[in-house]
Amino acid sequence: MDNPFSLQGKIALVTGASYGIGFAIASALANAGAKIVFNDLKQEFVDKGLAAYKAAGIAAIGYVCDVTDEEQVNAMVKQIETEAGVIDILVNNAGIIKRIPMIEMSASEFRQVIDVDLNAPFIVSKAVIPNMIKKGGGKIINICSMMSELGRETVSAYAAAKGGLKMLTRNIASEYGEYNIQCNGIGPGYIATPQTAPLRERQADGSRNPFDAFILAKTPAARWGTPEDLAGPAVFLASSASDFVNGHVLYVDGGILAYIGKQPS
């Protein structure tokens, strides 16, 4: 029996993958045999990403592309298909967050988050699905969040986007499953990346950030996740090992969603 987790011969596009979770997922897919293509907003970050992939022994191809811009996305997908081949695996990873109390957030700020975290996965998925169908199938992995299930103060736009992304995941699975396209989500818990750095920064007096202590009390694993914790789940959902898994969000959260939280001592 062939190794069901092998990605040999597959082409994987991971959006926003110069660093952070996207970089870790792309590296894992490469180590499983996939050819990696990625994008970022700025050439500077694409170049930094290419250097990091090279240092990890990964021959990635990088593109400058704003995933909220449908013209840029369609041009990038066409260029990828010319330079590397039809995309077999899409990871919609690019994302932003704005932590602002809802009644202080402008409609423009709200729309910016929705644009990157929800509209962009729609735009990129729409660009790759037609040739996935022609090729006989494909894998789409949307990077959701704890906020696909839970709310908290100051993240209204992000939670609305990630909740919507869970349902977009289910709808792509429903609409294109018959073409052997599996669309699933990964819901990371609290992961130590630049996006969550403000939540972990030490206080002025050197004490731990209260949010840091809060998350540790809410996580059975009693630690923040690392981007590498997402590697195995991503390879699973990108591989033939998950060919009958569709419309599922796999939470990689150390148990947060299962736990009421440690009683304060």
CA distance 87 to 99: 34
Compute the least distance from the CB of residue 139 to ligand GCO, in Å.
Answer: 22
- For ligand GCO, the binding residue among 196, 219, 242, 246 (CB under 6 A) is 196
CA distance 122 to 173: 13
226 near ligand GCO, rule: CB under 6 A: no
User: What is the amino acid identity at position 243?
Assistant: D
Picked from ligand GCO, ligand NAP, none, the partner binding residue 129 (CB below 5 to 8 A depending on kind) is: none
Q: Backbone phi, then psi, for 188, in 5-degree steps?
A: -65, 150
Q: Which of 63, 1, 53 is nearest to 29 (CA)?
A: 53
Q: Which stretch binds ligand GCO (CB under 6 A): 17-25, 34-42, 106-114, 186-194?
A: 186-194
Give yes or no: 19 in active site: no
Compute the least distance from the CB of residue 211 to ligand NAP, in Å.
Answer: 12
Q: Which of 53, 63, 158, 251 is catalytic?
A: 158
- For ligand NAP, the binding residue among 16, 62, 163, 254 (CB under 6 A) is 16
Q: Which of 185, 153, 180 is nearest to 166 (CA)?
A: 185
Q: Which of 71, 70, 53, 73 is nearest to 62 (CA)?
A: 53
- List Cα–Cα distances, 39 to 138, 165, 230, in angstroms: 19, 20, 19
Nearer to ligand NAP, 179 or 259 (CB): 259
Nearer to ligand NAP, 72 or 240 (CB): 72
Nearer to ligand NAP, 42 or 152 (CB): 42
Residues 83-142 that bind ligand NAP (CB under 6 A): 93-96, 116
* Helix, strand and coil percent figures for the chain, each rounded to 5: 50, 15, 35
Residues with catalytic roles:
158
Footprint on this chain of ligand NAP (rule: CB under 6 A): 15-16, 18-22, 39-42, 45, 66-68, 93-96, 116, 143, 145, 188, 190-191, 193-196
